């Protein structure tokens, strides 16, 4: 079998005295929080309707009249508000503290972005309004497109993909369309062993077989293995740079050259573009298509705080296949090309119902304009500086699998330093919650055993980085000193204790059902 | 019982082989939460994907150690994946295959060779 054994144990190994019942007690001003369906009763309502004298003409319902009332919980407005505010208090957010999830780029969401997105001229638009009444919004899309093209050096951009993986799909569908157009059916996409899981998933969804490229001992794409696997059957390679180990692919130009020599396309996974923005143009690295996560590099909210947006920049060869709609300059101002003829004759079609995440376009453009070209360059520099600061402060105690040389925007540690302590990466991460910090990304990338991937982003101050490092060093000392119970029983101070993920996977409860009475 | 380098085991009775994953593999996988088995009657080629075992860590493909026709699958394990962790080399078996080419057995390891192989990992 293909023995995938790099993950984590998911059952608590804690055997000490029982902790407080999970989440069912009020504590620290946080109350017990049942589901809204358990809180409200179906035979009650928080709103009064005056239905006296109202009659319903049931003939319009064609026999579809409801036999029983809908099972909606009856709550008053304050009960409803409090329920959701209490839930929000149990969630972690970038507005509460550092959120060091590697490869997720949880940077601060500037309030200026929010202010711009709330301007009535943007916030109150409807996607079906006459084009003449939305010229300002189209200008935002056009200017955002200009910034993205300039920062990447690419000639075209598709704005509408709504997430990084959606952007990957857009890019691979454009590559597939280009290959079909040149009568060159190809079957395979290559991804490095450290790739984001979305890369092989996207390739499979686009109809390709996936082959893995090996990694060198220093965490980069193995050029020899790449050259051996390239051939007339390979449609594309998907490479993240910097890669998920937080390392710059120093052979990126040779990777692009080999790929193009084999007639394949180079898809750049732009999830880590925040490490390069303003410093490196992906076009100069030989990229043919790359998505850009506005919700990472350009500071729009995500991770429960807002929707993603993953515009895709395209080379001149791929541009004719870009999805609709896109903005063009017409005789009467800006226009949206939505039909699949004329300049969109070869389009791969639509990727979403309307024009993409308009609110995110406004926020991302506000971020770009408030930083300017020099500010964006400093974004990348500070992101890399902060990650290296963390790497330097923690390396004395925690082991880094690729210790040599600087990292880029994220610092990667492994589990080697915990050997013999009885504490695992999972235990360490859970104990971080008790110490007041959200855990880092763990057990990813898969090529590193017990990976701990820390991405501080440029928006954290040195004081905050020090607080974080101090907490981790204190935890590390406790782990080394043999205080295993503290780790196995963590988290003790969170609303919920450690969950049994095995049972959750074996017997998932996918739907709420009323308790038997 | 004979073994592959991909951690499948095979026990042959007459011309039918019972196939499962080894205790080492079950230990490495962690708690198994889902098992996907081939349909009875399916034709398998040695080395091709035969089943999927999903643990809390990851999903892993199980390869057919031998070519032949699937004559039976362990329906109990689909309902109760814990069996694969409890008795991987017994009641946690996955598939029964009617051998197309018994000579393929010669390429598999015996237990002492497999154990030596595990020590080399």
Tell me the pLDDT tens digit for each residue of A131-170: 999 999 999 999 999 999 999 999 999 999 999 999 999 9
Whether residue A354 is found in the same domain as residue A388: no
Mean pLDDT score, A496-509: 82
Whether residue A347 is found in the same domain as residue A380: no
pLDDT > 90? residue A469: yes
How far B69 CA lies from chain A's nearest CA (Å)?
19
How far A1 CA lies from chain B's nearest CA (Å)?
4
Which residue of B31, B49, B86, B95 to mutate against A (max A Cβ within 10 Å)? B31
Average pLDDT over chain A reads 92
Say if residues A113 and A300 touch (Cβ distance below 8 Å): yes
pLDDT > 50? residue A24: no
- The answer to whether position A310 is within a domain reads yes
- The answer to whether position A384 is within a domain reads yes
Minimum Cα–Cα distance from A503: chain B residue: B33
Tell me the pLDDT tens digit for each residue of A280-306: 999 999 999 999 999 999 999 997 767
**A201 to each of A4, A165, A206, A208, how far by Cα in Å?**
16, 9, 9, 10
pLDDT > 70? residue A8: no
Short-list A347, A350, A293, A283, CA closest to A315: A283
pLDDT > 80? residue A384: yes
% of chain A surpassing 70 pLDDT: 95
Say if residues B92 and B62 touch (Cβ distance below 8 Å): no
Q: Does A59 touch chain B (CB under 8 A)?
A: no
Q: Rounded to whole angstroms, how far apart are CA atoms A217 and A403?
A: 11
pLDDT at B7: 96
A336: enclosing H helix or E strand? strand A333-337
Sign of the C-alpha dihedral computed for residues A11, A14, A15 and A20 taken in this order:
negative
Whether residue A159 is found in the same domain as residue A122: yes
Of A41-55, A244-258, A395-409, least confident by mean pLDDT is: A41-55
- The last residue of a domain, from among A367, A383, A404: A367
pLDDT at A160: 96
Whether residue A304 is found in the same domain as residue A388: no
Q: Rounded to whole angstroms, how far apart are CA atoms B79 and A317?
A: 51
Whether residue A243 is found in the same domain as residue A346: yes
Boundaries of domain holding A177: 112-367
Q: Which of A1, A7, A9 sits opposite B25 (nearest CB)?
A: A1
Q: What's the distance, CA B74 to chain centroid?
A: 11
How far B22 CA lies from chain A's nearest CA (Å)?
10
Whether residue A396 is found in the same domain as residue A355: no
pLDDT at B57: 78
**Chain A residues near residue B25 by CB distance under 8 angstroms:** 1, 3
DSSP A17: S
A422, two tokens: 């009885």
- The answer to whether position A405 is within a domain reads yes
Q: Rounded to whole angstroms, how far apart are CA atoms A115 and A132?
A: 24
Strand, helix or coil for residue A161: coil
Mean pLDDT score, A199-212: 97
pLDDT at A23: 43
- Domains contained in chain B, CATH given: 2-112 (2.40.50.100)
Q: Rounded to whole angstroms, how far apart are CA atoms A147 and A163?
A: 19
Contact B21 A505 (CB under 8 A): no
Tell me the pLDDT tens digit for each residue of A331-348: 999 999 998 888 889 999
Say if residues A226 and A213 touch (Cβ distance below 8 Å): yes
Contact B33 A5 (CB under 8 A): no
Q: Which of A2, A3, A501 sits opposite B56 (nearest CB)?
A: A501
The owner of tokens 């782990």 is A479
Say if residues A332 and A135 touch (Cβ distance below 8 Å): no
**Chain B residues near residue A6 by CB distance under 8 angstroms:** 57-58
Whether residue A242 is found in the same domain as residue A280: yes
Whether residue A278 is found in the same domain as residue A157: yes
pLDDT > 80? residue A6: no
Contact A1 B62 (CB under 8 A): yes
Short-list A288, A292, A282, A243, CA closest to A262: A288
Q: In DSSP terms, which residues pair with B36 in a beta bridge? A: B52
Minimum Cα–Cα distance from A11: chain B residue: B31
Residue ranges of chain B whose CB lies within 8 Å of a chain A CB: 6-8, 21, 25, 28-31, 33-34, 53, 55-63, 81-82
Q: Which of B6, B57, B81 sits opposite A1 (nearest CB)?
A: B6
Whether residue A432 is found in the same domain as residue A330: no
Minimum Cα–Cα distance from B47: chain A residue: A1
pLDDT > 50? residue A82: yes
- The answer to whether position A31 is within a domain reads no
pLDDT at A58: 77
Mean pLDDT score, A262-286: 97
CATH code assigned at A119: 3.40.640.10
Check: complex ipTM more than 0.85 = no
**Chain B residues near residue A506 by CB distance under 8 angstroms:** 31, 33, 81-82
How far A502 CA lies from chain B's nearest CA (Å)?
6
How far A501 CA lies from chain B's nearest CA (Å)?
7
Residues 6 or more apart in contact with residue A128 via CB below 8 angstroms: none
Whether residue A138 is found in the same domain as residue A221: yes
Residues 6 or more apart in contact with residue A397 via CB below 8 angstroms: A417, A473, A476, A477, A480
The owner of tokens 């969804």 is A205
A45: enclosing H helix or E strand? none
Minimum Cα–Cα distance from A508: chain B residue: B33
Counted across chains A and B, CB pairs separated by less than 8 A come out at: 59
- The answer to whether position A64 is within a domain reads no
Low-confidence ranges of chain B (pLDDT < 50): none
Residues within 8 A of B (CB atoms), A 450-509 only:
501-502, 505-506
CATH code assigned at A441: 3.90.1150.10
Sign of the C-alpha dihedral computed for residues A103, A108, A114 and A117 taken in this order:
negative
How far B14 CA lies from chain A's nearest CA (Å)?
25
Q: Rounded to whole angstroms, how far apart are CA atoms B53 and B60?
A: 5
DSSP A243: -
Strands A289-291 and A312-314: antiparallel
Mean pLDDT score, A173-195: 96
Residues 6 or more apart in contact with residue A255 via CB below 8 angstroms: A221, A223, A226, A237, A239, A249, A266, A286
Whether residue A377 is found in the same domain as residue A460: yes
Whether residue A388 is found in the same domain as residue A354: no
Contact A3 B31 (CB under 8 A): no
Predicted TM-score (pTM) above 0.90: no
Length of chain B, in residues: 121
- The answer to whether position A319 is within a domain reads yes
- The answer to whether position A472 is within a domain reads yes
Residues within 8 A of B (CB atoms), A 10-29 only:
10-11
Contact A505 B56 (CB under 8 A): yes
A516, two tokens: 């038997």
Contact B60 A2 (CB under 8 A): yes
Number of domains in chain A: 2
- The answer to whether position A345 is within a domain reads yes
**Chain B residues near residue A3 by CB distance under 8 angstroms:** 6-7, 25, 28-29, 60
Which residue of B57, B64, B65, B95 to mutate against A (max A Cβ within 10 Å)? B57
**Chain A residues near residue B82 by CB distance under 8 angstroms:** 506
How far A213 CA lies from chain B's nearest CA (Å)?
18
Tell me the pLDDT tens digit for each residue of A408-465: 999 999 999 999 999 999 999 999 999 999 999 999 998 999 999 999 999 999 999 9
């Amino acid at each position: 079998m293909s023995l995938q054994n790099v993950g984590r144990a998911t059952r608590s190994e804690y055997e000490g005295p029982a902790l407080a019942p999970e989440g069912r007690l009020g504590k620290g001003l946080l109350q017990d929080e049942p589901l809204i369906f358990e809180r409200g009763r179906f035979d009650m309502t928080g709103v009064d309707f005056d239905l006296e004298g109202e009659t319903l003409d049931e003939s319009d319902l064609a026999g579809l009249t409801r036999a029983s009332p809908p099972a909606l919980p009856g709550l008053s407005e304050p009960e409803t508000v409090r329920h959701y505010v209490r839930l929000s208090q149990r969630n972690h957010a970038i507005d509460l503290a550092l959120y060091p999830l590697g490869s997720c780029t949880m940077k601060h969401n500037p309030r200026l972005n929010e202010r711009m997105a709330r301007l009535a001229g943007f916030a109150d638009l409807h996607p079906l309004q006459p084009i003449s009444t939305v010229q300002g919004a189209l200008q935002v899309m056009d200017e955002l497109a200009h910034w993205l093209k300039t920062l990447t050096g690419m000639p075209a951009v598709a704005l509408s993909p709504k997430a990084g993986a959606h952007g990957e799909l857009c890019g691979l569908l454009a590559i597939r369309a280009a290959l079909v157009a040149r009568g060159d059916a190809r079957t395979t996409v290559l991804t490095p062993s450290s790739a984001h899981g979305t890369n092989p998933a996207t390739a499979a969804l686009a109809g390709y077989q996936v082959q893995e490229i090996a990694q060198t001992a220093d965490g980069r794409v193995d050029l020899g293995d790449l050259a051996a696997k390239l051939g007339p059957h390979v449609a594309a390679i998907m490479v993240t740079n910097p890669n998920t180990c937080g390392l710059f692919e120093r052979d990126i130009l040779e990777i692009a050259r080999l790929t193009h020599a084999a007639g394949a396309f180079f898809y750049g996974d732009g999830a880590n573009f925040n490490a390069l923005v303003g410093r490196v143009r992906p076009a100069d690295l030989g990229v043919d298509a790359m998505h850009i996560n506005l919700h990472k590099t350009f500071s729009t909210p995500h991770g429960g705080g807002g929707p993603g947006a993953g515009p895709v920049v395209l080379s001149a060869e791929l541009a004719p296949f870009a999805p609709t709609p896109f903005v063009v300059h017409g005789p009467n101002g800006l226009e949206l090309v939505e039909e699949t003829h004329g300049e969109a004759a070869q389009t791969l079609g639509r990727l979403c119902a309307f024009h993409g995440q308009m609110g995110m376009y406004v926020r991302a453009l506000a971020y770009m304009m408030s930083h300017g070209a020099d500010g964006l360059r400093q974004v990348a520099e500070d992101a890399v500086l902060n990650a290296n600061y963390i790497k330097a402060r923690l390396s004395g105690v925690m082991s880094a699998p690729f210790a040599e040389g600087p990292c880029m925007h994220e610092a990667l540690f492994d589990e080697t330093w915990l050997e013999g302590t009885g504490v695992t990466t999972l235990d360490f991460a859970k104990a971080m919650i008790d110490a007041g910090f959200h855990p880092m990304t763990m057990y990813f990338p898969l090529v590193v055993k017990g990976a701990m991937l820390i991405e501080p982003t440029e928006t954290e101050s040195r004081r905050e980085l020090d607080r974080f490092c101090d907490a981790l060093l204190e935890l590390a000392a406790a782990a080394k000193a043999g205080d295993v119970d503290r780790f196995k029983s963590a988290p003790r101070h969170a609303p919920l204790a450690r969950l049994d993920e095995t049972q959750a996977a074996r017997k998932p409860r996918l739907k709420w059902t009323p308790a038997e009475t | 019982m004979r073994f592959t380098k991909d951690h499948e085991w095979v026990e042959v009775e007459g011309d039918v082989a019972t196939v499962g994953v080894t205790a080492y593999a079950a230990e490495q996988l962690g708690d198994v939460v889902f098992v996907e088995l081939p349909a009875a009657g399916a034709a398998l080629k040695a080395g091709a994907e035969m089943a999927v075992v999903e643990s809390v860590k990851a999903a892993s493909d199980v390869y057919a150690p031998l070519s032949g026709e699937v004559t039976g699958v362990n329906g109990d394990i689909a309902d109760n994946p814990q069996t694969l962790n409890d008795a991987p080399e017994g009641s946690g078996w996955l598939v029964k295959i009617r051998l197309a080419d018994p000579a393929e057995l010669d390429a598999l390891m015996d237990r002492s060779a497999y154990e030596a192989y595990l020590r080399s990992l």
